[in-house]
Structures are given as structure tokens and as C-alpha cells.
Amino acid sequence: MSDKIQVDLLIVGAGPAGLMAAAWMAQTGVKTLLIDEQSDHRTNGRADGLESRTLEILDSFGLADKVWAEANHTVEICLWCDSVDGPIRRDSIAPNSKAGWSRFYESTLGQGRIEDIVLELVQSRDNIDIRRETKPTSLDIDYSCIEDHSTYPIRMALDTPLRTSYESPHDSGISTPSTSSDDGMQPHNSDLRHGRSGTEVEAKYVLGCDGAHSWLRKQLGLKLEGQSFDHYWGVLDIVPITNFPDIRKRFIVKSKFGNLMMIPREGQLVRVYVQLPLTMADQYNMEKDPGIILRQVEAIMKPYSLKAKNTIWSTVYRVGQRICPKISHHNRIFLAGDACHTHSPKAGQGMNVSMQDTYNLGWKLASVIQGSLTPNILDTYQQERLPVAERLLQFDRRICHAMCSTRDLQSSLQGTFGEDHRRALEEENSSASGLAVSYSPNLLVTSTICNTDGPYEISYFSKQYLAENIRVGTRIPSKLVLQQIDSQSCHLHELFRSTGQWNLIIFGGDIVNKSQMARVRNLADSLSCKESYFHRFKTAREMKGDIEPIVVYLLHSACRNSIDFFDLPEIFRPESKYGGINFGRALVDNEFYHQPGGGELYKSFGIHPEGCMVLLRPDQHISFISELEDFNGLEMFLSSFTQLDC
């Protein structure tokens, strides 16, 4: 006999992808069941590289401070290769990432610790039920009601009962259909002793974050497509004893004995990746002796010495790149992370892209479940993330090609770095890291062209020339801004927390100029007009007890001291939930007394002197840019994917 429960979202797998999805649900209050077959997550091994965009995302959940404080920051990268007369020599030393792309730069911290930090947030909320040592045993989908998003068409059997004896019962917010026990109440542990063997879950949505061997992917009849290559790499996490001068920098050695890469980590640890001949890889796989990998490292590093005082973790992997061509099943079941793309770890992207997948999906699912957005926006998950996975694999191919050959194609010398390898290393921490991901026009990203070809003229579109350097579809960059009221500074990104809220920034320009101020006032009046769709959508959601669905900011460029906060339209000085006025909605791009970096935003973003409005999605990607007069365009865009009365 099985227990039965109903959940809005079932997440299979509590690795980085599953936990990031759960973090969104924790923030938005969606009833979620998170299961994992392991009793606990592994403390050592696997990923350790956090890219800047992932740090920005963690920061939007309030988690980056902890990660940043514990992590090692990878500031420099050195390339080493054979010298003409034999021993390896340093070829170059450079910054590991380009300045100015992000407030954060690449850092390393063990995956287990990163998972711990996200898990703390997830566990702090009652609406997420986490069950370990639990896996699914069957999947049934009721296709007859799959288009009706108020139904629970997915039935999944789990191999553990609803309450296990080591869990203290608490109100998880997960409902039990009345058939589950006679009185419709949560079953007691006594039920378990009386033969209850598993759980039947009815879910509205299921998310497969169950890694490279995904059970869920196989149930859907989907395959990872791609290939493996005859390249083998050994991986070690060690505390090194060495006289190598760059041991606390990231470095790559290309030599006639093979190639390696080392990345300094938190504490005294260093992550080593070293190319292995097949015989050594086979030997390691039989004996599991890290000494086999270390001997290859020692040979490449000569004349420097390198011993391991402490080996925390070791493994050998074969290079392969695979992708699943479909990551959404009827917008009800989704795959994310390693479940739909796998590649070599050398580009340091796997955990990052996995978390970024569910960062993209989480708020969309929450908004559909809570009824504020139409279910067809879920199409955008596959539209946006599949191309990212494809580009990731192409990028990984470039990195692997460069790292696996000792001979550069353009050079007769062994152990040298080609131009493409250098360029790929630069891109790794900028464009490839997620910072430059740009989503193409879709339901949630406006086109920049007015389309008059189709049966309907699309009457809203973005005017990119109004903010030339921030592209529609990309994440907005961050710059220092000041509060109008008191000149306190903050980074733009600190305002856009991951709560599910949209943000509308009114770049008012020089509002000392009367006509410019009049344009801002007109827009503010339209936004506040009770009959407008914008206002009705906002109030409808607020009446349902949701957080403010769209937050409106003024960010002007006039001299701060020439503007009186209380002369600004009311929409920029709304009531605070703590009583009194919320002073944080009126901002200015002026120099800051105490720190350089203020007063650069308009120039850096390329904001037109006439100003503009910029609408940001809850994941900080830009979905709409238009002139201050285009309130109709904004309303039409919003009404194409939001709902008032659900």
C-alpha cells in the first residue's frame, strides 16, 4: 500500500541544478517535493569553479557573501610550455578574466560546500519538502488533461513512504489527497510499520535534475547524443608540496610529456587536471591509486618538484560531449543540467550551466503555477537554454582540442599555445561564463524589429538605439548608483533580487530640464492610472497576496542636489511595507563621495539623452527597451504573457 501526495513541482535530484530550482521555489512559496537517491550529498570532488554569472545569481538570492568569503579568487592565469633547450618555462601571465564584465570574477570552492550553502536557504522554508534516499520507480502521464495547467497529470511512484521514521513531521505545505488515509490526514509513522511501502506523487510539473544518467530522461525515451574521444584525464584535489612559483595562480603547462592544468582552491588545496595515456588511465581504474596520476604530474612539472601532502579526491575521466535535443516534454516535464548536457570539466562550466538552466526555468514555473504568467511562456525554457547547451559543447570542443594536443597547429614546436587556445581562455571567463548569454526574441524577449510581415502586426518592439550598450535578451550589467534621498550607494544588481519580481527602470535622463521631467511625469501618470492594464495587473496580483509583481524605479542623470525627492511623481516614492515611504525607488547616476565608480552608468549603458524605459525579467535579462512615451507598447507586451484573473 502506498501513500499519496499532490505537489505543484517535483524535482528529481538535489545536485546544483535541482537545488537552484528549489531555491526559486523557496523564494516564491511554491509547494515542492525535492527527492534524491543519496543519503547526503558528496563533500569532496567534482566541480569547484564558479563563474562570475553564477556568483551574480547566488548574490541575487543573498548567498554570494558566504561563497565569496570562503572561496579562492582566481585572479591570474599563467601559461607554461617547453623551452627550446628543454625544461618548461613561463610563456605568459595575465588576468584570468577581463575587468569590467562583472563585480565578481572566477572563484573556486568545492561543489559540496556550494550545495550546502544553497541547501541552507531551501531548508529554511516550509514549502519545500526534501526527501533523501528516495528515487522514482515509475512514471505515468495523463495526456488527456495535459493542456489544462490547473491539473496534476503526472503520476510518479517513489520507493519510500511519505513519512520515514527519521523525519520529524512538520507542515511541509504538501497536500495529501483524501484517499491517502481514512481521515484525510497525514499518515502516522504507525502506517509505515503496517506495510506502507512507497509514495504515489501527483504533480503538475516535474523537473529532471538527476544527472548524466538521468532516469527521467530515459523514461521519456530521450537520449544524450554525441561522442566520446580517446582522451583521458586524471583529476586530483591535493595539498601540494612544491617549489613551483605559480602554484597559487591558475596555470596550464603544455609539454612534450603531456599537458596539465592546476587551479588553486580554498584553503591550501589545488585541483589538478592531467592528460593520461590510456595505459595509465586503465591502471588507475583498476587500482584507484592517485599515485598513478601524480607520477604523470611530476614528470610534466620537471625541473620543479611537486608532491602531494594530502590527496582529498581523485578520479579519471574520458573526454566526451553529449546533448539531449529536447529538454521539455509538453511543458510539464523538463530536463536540466547534466541530465541534458555533459562535456569535459576543463572549461569549468558544468555546474555553472546546470545552475543557470534552472535559474532560467525556476521563476517561469513559479509564475505559471501561481497564475501570473500564461503557461505558454514555458516554451521559452527550451528556446533559450538549448542553444546555450549547444554553444557550451562547441566551446568545450575548442578547449579540449587545444588542451589535448601538445602540438599547436600553427607551430612546429611542441608544447605551445595557439591563438585560438588563448582566445578560448579569455572567453571562458567572460562570454562563455554566462555573462554574455543572449536570448533571442520570444514571448518574453521583444524583437528589435517591427514585424509587419505576419498576419498580425506586432505593435511592440524594442528600440535598441535608446540604450546601445545593453542588449535586449542579455542580463543587465551592474554599476554603482546612488539613492536620491541620501546619496547612499549600491550596485544596480543589489536591487534586483531573485524574488520573482519584474523590474521596470525609467531612465529619466536630465530631469532638471522641464520638458524631460514632463515626459517622466506623463509616463508615471500612465503607470499609475487605475484603468491601465499595468495597474490592474499589479493590483490583481497584490490582492492575491503576491509580492509586488513589477517594481518601478526612476534612475535619472541630473545633478542630485538639484532635485527634491518629494517633487518626484508618487510612483517613485511608494509606501514601504514597514510603514512610511520606500526611499529606495528613486536613484541617480552621480559620483559617489566615498568610492570611485559612480556617475558612469548612463555612458556605460549608452543611454540616449532622451532617456528610455527598460523592463527586466526576474532573472535580470532585458526584455523590452522603449522610449518614455511608449506606454502602449509596454502594456501590449505585458498583456501578451501575463494574466489578470487566474
Q: Which residues are catalytic?
A: 48, 265, 273, 345
Q: Is 382 in the site for ligand FAD (CB under 6 A)?
A: no
How many residues touch ligand FAD under the rule CB under 6 A: the total is: 35
Q: Given candidates 8, 210, 237, 408, which one binds ligand FAD under the rule CB under 6 A?
A: 210
With CA atoms as reference, report the closest residue to 23 among 365, 330, 504. Answer: 365
Rounded to a whole number, what is the largest CA-CA distance in the chain? Answer: 84
Which of 220/581 has CB closer to ligand FAD?
A: 220
- Closest distance between ligand FAD and the C-beta of residue 340, in Å? 8
Q: Is 441 in the site for ligand FAD (CB under 6 A)?
A: no
- Closest distance between ligand FAD and the C-beta of residue 233, in Å? 8
- Closest distance between ligand FAD and the C-beta of residue 565, in Å? 44
Which of 232/641 has CB closer to ligand FAD?
A: 232
Which of 45/574 has CB closer to ligand FAD?
A: 45
Say whether the peptide bond before residue 303 is cis (omega within 30 degrees of 0).
yes
Site residues for ligand FAD, 212-231, by CB under 6 A, read: 215
235, 272 Cβ separation under 8 angstroms? yes
Q: Residue 548 has what DSSP assignment?
A: P
Q: Which stretch, 123-131, 336-344, 429-437, 517-525, contacts ligand FAD (CB under 6 A)?
A: 336-344
Rounded distance, CA 167 to CA 488, Å?
A: 46
Q: Is 618 in the site for ligand FAD (CB under 6 A)?
A: no
- Closest distance between ligand FAD and the C-beta of residue 610, in Å? 42
Angle between helices 379-404 and 350-369 (to 10 degrees): 180
Phi, psi of 341 (to 5 degrees): -155, 130
Element (H, E) at 294: helix 290-301
Q: Is 35 in the site for ligand FAD (CB under 6 A)?
A: yes
The 10 Å Cβ neighbour count of residue 450 is: 12
Buried b (16+ CB within 10 A) or exposed e, 359-381: bbbbbbbbbbbbbbbbbebbebb
Q: Residue 299 has what DSSP assignment?
A: H
Q: Is 396 in the site for ligand FAD (CB under 6 A)?
A: no
Partners of 139 in beta bridges: 156
Q: Given candidates 111, 382, 406, 516, which one binds ligand FAD under the rule CB under 6 A?
A: 111
Beta strands in 180-220, from DSSP E residues, in sequence order: 198-208
Q: Given candidates 14, 365, 550, 586, which one binds ligand FAD under the rule CB under 6 A?
A: 14
Q: Which stretch, 96-104, 344-352, 525-533, 596-604, contacts ligand FAD (CB under 6 A)?
A: 344-352
With CA atoms as reference, report the closest residue to 262 among 79, 252, 300. Answer: 252
Identify the burial level of 465 via C-beta atoms within 10 angstroms of its C-beta, where 0-12 means exposed, 13-18 middle and 19 or more buried. Answer: exposed
From residue 127 to residue 156, what is the string marking binding to ligand FAD with x (rule CB under 6 A)?
--------xx--------------------
Q: Is 266 in the site for ligand FAD (CB under 6 A)?
A: no
Which of 113/135 has CB closer to ligand FAD?
A: 135
Q: Is 101 in the site for ligand FAD (CB under 6 A)?
A: no
Q: Which stretch, 47-55, 167-175, 464-472, 518-526, contacts ligand FAD (CB under 6 A)?
A: 47-55
- Closest distance between ligand FAD and the C-beta of residue 194, in Å? 26
Q: Which stretch, 160-168, 348-356, 466-474, 615-623, contacts ligand FAD (CB under 6 A)?
A: 348-356
Q: Given candidates 17, 88, 293, 335, which one binds ligand FAD under the rule CB under 6 A?
A: 17
Q: Which stretch, 15-23, 425-433, 545-553, 576-584, contacts ligand FAD (CB under 6 A)?
A: 15-23
Q: Given candidates 33, 81, 128, 209, which one binds ligand FAD under the rule CB under 6 A?
A: 209
Q: Is 37 in the site for ligand FAD (CB under 6 A)?
A: yes
- Closest distance between ligand FAD and the C-beta of residue 160, in Å? 11
196, 2 Cβ separation under 8 angstroms? yes
Q: CB-based contacts of 567: which residues, under 8 Å, 6+ apart?
A: none
Site residues for ligand FAD, 278-317, by CB under 6 A, read: 315
- Closest distance between ligand FAD and the C-beta of residue 93, in Å? 21
Q: Following CA atoms 85, 89, 92, 93 in sequence, which dihedral angle do they give, to the nearest 10 degrees?
A: -170
Buried b (16+ CB within 10 A) or exposed e, 233-272: bbbbbbebebebebbbbbbbbbbebbbbbbbbbeeebbbb
Q: Is 36 in the site for ligand FAD (CB under 6 A)?
A: yes
Copy the grid coordinates of residue 157: 511512484
Copy the grid coordinates of residue 39: 543519503
Q: Which stretch, 12-20, 66-74, 149-157, 603-611, contacts ligand FAD (CB under 6 A)?
A: 12-20
Q: Residue 28 has what DSSP assignment?
A: H
Which of 36/635 has CB closer to ligand FAD?
A: 36
Cell 573526454 belongs to residue: 319
Helices (H), ranges, 45-161: 52-60, 64-70, 111-123
Q: Is 447 in the site for ligand FAD (CB under 6 A)?
A: no
Q: Given candidates 5, 21, 22, 48, which one binds ligand FAD under the rule CB under 6 A?
A: 48
Q: Given candidates 21, 67, 222, 235, which one binds ligand FAD under the rule CB under 6 A?
A: 235
With CA atoms as reference, report the closest residue to 260 among 60, 406, 138. Answer: 406
Q: Is 47 in the site for ligand FAD (CB under 6 A)?
A: yes
CA 139 to chain centre: 28
Q: Is 428 in the site for ligand FAD (CB under 6 A)?
A: no
Site residues for ligand FAD, 471-490, by CB under 6 A, read: none
Beta strands in 324-436, from DSSP E residues, in sequence order: 328-329, 333-335, 341-342
- Closest distance between ligand FAD and the C-beta of residue 309, in Å? 21
Q: Is 18 in the site for ligand FAD (CB under 6 A)?
A: yes
Which of 13/508 has CB closer to ligand FAD?
A: 13
Q: Given candidates 49, 569, 611, 633, which one binds ligand FAD under the rule CB under 6 A?
A: 49
Q: Is 59 in the site for ligand FAD (CB under 6 A)?
A: no
359, 20 Cβ separation under 8 angstroms? yes
Q: CB-based contacts of 394: which residues, under 8 Å, 6+ apart?
A: none
Q: Is 55 in the site for ligand FAD (CB under 6 A)?
A: no
Q: Is 635 in the site for ligand FAD (CB under 6 A)?
A: no
Amino acid type, 238? I
Phi, psi of 53 (to 5 degrees): -65, -40
What SS3 state is found at 288?
coil
Copy the grid coordinates of residue 384: 533559450
Rounded distance, CA 462 to CA 219, Å?
A: 41
Q: Is 46 in the site for ligand FAD (CB under 6 A)?
A: yes
Copy the grid coordinates of residue 541: 496580483
133, 127 Cβ separation under 8 angstroms? no
Binding site for ligand FAD (CB under 6 A): 12-18, 35-38, 41, 46-49, 111, 135-136, 209-211, 215, 235, 315, 337-339, 345, 348-352, 354
